[in-house]
Amino acid sequence: MSKPNHPRGLDETEAQAVLRNLRVSPRKLNLIAAMIRNLAAADAVAALTFSKRRIAVDVRKALESAIANAENNHQLDVDRLVVTRAEVGRSTVMRRFQARGRGRAARVEKWFSHLRIVVAERSQDESAAAQQEAA
């Protein structure tokens, strides 16, 4: 006997991608996540492509994975996708030490993070209104 299927936690017009154990602190990752929240998917990919931060490459891969999930698994229109949520969470912390003077030691913490990106398909009238606001 197997476990029952877990119900889908997202709407029919949403798709997600989850990236776990990224080697960056949650504070730094949240700066990148805040940059792409509520942007159109194409604009978010462009913003991440030209960002100078190291972790933006991995976030762009996760976003492209969410877009591909929306297109292939849920048959959503790629041109109307918007990044509705970009959630950052804490993961493990590696603790190392650095030798200091007089035989002492200082703790060095190496933070890891989780990232969850949710893209949703906008309706026709919402996307038209957003384009008029941008112009």
Euclidean distance between CA atoms 28 and 31, whole angstroms: 5
Per-residue pLDDT, averaged over 15-35, amounts to 98
pLDDT of residue 127: 66
Euclidean distance between CA atoms 32 and 45, whole angstroms: 12
pLDDT of residue 124: 73
User: 92-122, pLDDT tens digit by residue?
Assistant: 999 999 999 999 999 999 999 999 999 999 9
Euclidean distance between CA atoms 55 and 117, whole angstroms: 15
Domain ranges of the chain: 14-124
CA distances (Å), 131 to each of 10, 33, 83, 125, in order? 26, 22, 15, 10
Residue whose entry in the numeric block shows the structure tokens 């990236």? 19
Average pLDDT, the chain: 94
pLDDT of residue 10: 93
Task: Quickly state the pLDDT bin for 1 (edges 50, 70, 90).
Answer: confident
Task: Quickly state the pLDDT bin for 135 (edges 50, 70, 90).
Answer: low
Per-residue pLDDT, averaged over 36-57, amounts to 97
Q: What six digits make up the tokens of 62?
A: 């996760």
Euclidean distance between CA atoms 122 and 10, whole angstroms: 15
Euclidean distance between CA atoms 14 and 83, whole angstroms: 10
pLDDT of residue 78: 96
- For the whole model, what pTM was predicted? 0.89
Euclidean distance between CA atoms 96 and 45, whole angstroms: 35
What CATH architecture does domain 14-124 belong to?
A: Alpha-Beta Complex (3.90)
